[in-house]
Amino acid sequence: MTSQELFENIKKKKSFLCVGLDTDINKIPRHLLDTTDPIFAFNKQIIDATHDVTVAYKPNLAFYESLGVNGWNSLEKTVNYIKYNHPDIFIIADAKRGDIGNTSAMYAKAFFDHMEFDSVTVAPYMGEDSVKPFLTHVDKWVILLALTSNKGAFDFQFMEENNEKLYEKVIKTSAQWGTEENLMYVVGATKAEMLADIRKLIPNHFLLVPGVGAQGGSLEEVAKNGMNNKCGLLVNSSRGIIYASDAEDFAAKARENAIAVQQDMEKLLKVHGLI
């Protein structure tokens, strides 16, 4: 998928919402446990209920891996279901991978060839040769961790050398490895005030912004500081949408919450003159 195609979808749906599929067998409604694949049954209903207001889905790999072979099977079915029924939706493998070259190449194969993800989140610690193997797949994207939304972000990401923080160095250095057509960045919404500075470094790249809602970030602040002339934002919500209810009405409630976020996003897209 190109950035223009993503932007067209954002304009069509009046939304830059990414729904995080952090599907936890212990949190999904009890009645689904009688189905043959509860995780996929849950995801399918969430997707059916939210696809028209959502431009991206982001399965969080840990939740699937914790169930072993069965979880991996549910993941593959979920990706196939989205790709077949909603080919315009951008799918993110939230995997935080990154290893020496031949190993990263294998991860890229897992997510881009074996499965049909459009993108994968990658950790930058091991540098260029750990990231590049993901960038050689046509129409596929790396979403590199820059500034994360968690408390631990302050442990290392703000380390400073020559007035440059580690997360800034990660952005500046890695921007040379890829292009605006195959590289996005994770920037946590809890650090929205830093988005404006990050936009000076990378005015055109798309940013994946987690941490709105449950983690406390403000959508308005994110748009104010991070939106560009192609929107340039995918804002993720996981728990606030998929766990809106733990009863049989979970999908309807997820839809209600997704629509509420979409309507806020529509206003912000209008304010910024994009629709």
By the rule CB under 8 A, 178 interacts with a second copy: no
Type of residue at 247 = A
Question: Which phi and psi angles does 147 have, rounded to 5°?
Answer: -125, 110
Interface pick for a second copy out of 8, 48, 52, 99 (rule CB under 8 A): 99
Q: Which residues contact 79 (CB under 8 A, 6 or more apart)?
A: 59, 91, 115, 116, 117
By the rule CB under 8 A, 37 interacts with a second copy: no
Interface pick for a second copy out of 32, 101, 220, 221 (rule CB under 8 A): 101
By the rule CB under 8 A, 201 interacts with a second copy: no
Return d(Cα 79, Cα 72) in angstroms, integer: 11
- Cβ distance to a second copy smaller for residue 146 or 227: 146
Other C-beta atoms closer than 10 Å to the C-beta of 165 total 17
Build a one-symbol-per-residue string for 154-173: x at contacts with a second copy by CB under 8 A, - elsewhere: xxxx-xxx----x--xx--x
Q: Which stretch binds a second copy (CB under 8 A): 84-92, 128-136, 221-229, 251-259?
A: 128-136
Of 207, 166, 169, nearest in space to 189 by CA: 207
Q: Which residues contact 68 (CB under 8 A, 6 or more apart)?
A: none
**Binding residues for a second copy, per CB under 8 A?**
22, 24, 60, 62-63, 65-69, 71-73, 76, 94, 96-104, 106-107, 109-110, 113-115, 123-131, 145, 148-157, 159-161, 166, 169-170, 173
